[in-house]
């Protein structure tokens, strides 16, 4: 599992593997994931009037799925994992 510490600077970011392996730098897109921890996303939802539920932040990426957190870094949605097609980058302007 890759866990990135939220970094306000643009990518690349430091990755600290939970298995104790040495930290590394991961340039955006090289890890095979569309989203990177710290990205602000919405969950696609047919029950929400806007078709989206959120915003949330990507907390971690593992096995091709993502876990989410709130703006304070707390696990969101019960720690459920979401596939990339269930998520969309958050649009601050709502379009």
pLDDT level of residue 13 (50, 70, 90 thresholds): low
Question: Is pLDDT above 70 for 79?
Answer: yes
Q: Domain boundaries in the chain?
A: 2-89
72, 40 in Cβ contact below 8 A? Answer: no
pLDDT tens readout for residues 36-57: 888 999 999 887 777 889 999 9
SS3 content of the chain, % helix, strand, coil (to 5): 5, 40, 55
pLDDT score, position 8? 46
pTM metric for this prediction? 0.65
pLDDT score, position 62? 84
Architecture of domain 2-89: Roll (2.30)
Higher pLDDT, 61 or 69: 69
């Amino acid at each position: 599992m890759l866990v990135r510490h939220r970094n306000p600077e643009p990518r690349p970011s430091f990755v600290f593997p939970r298995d104790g392996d040495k930290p590394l730098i991961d340039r955006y897109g090289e890890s095979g994931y569309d989203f990177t921890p710290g990205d602000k996303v919405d969950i696609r939802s047919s029950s929400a009037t806007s078709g989206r539920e959120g915003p949330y932040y990507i907390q971690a990426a593992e096995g091709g799925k993502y876990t989410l957190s709130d703006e304070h870094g707390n696990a969101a949605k019960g720690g459920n994992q979401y596939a990339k097609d269930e998520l969309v980058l958050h649009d601050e302007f709502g379009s």
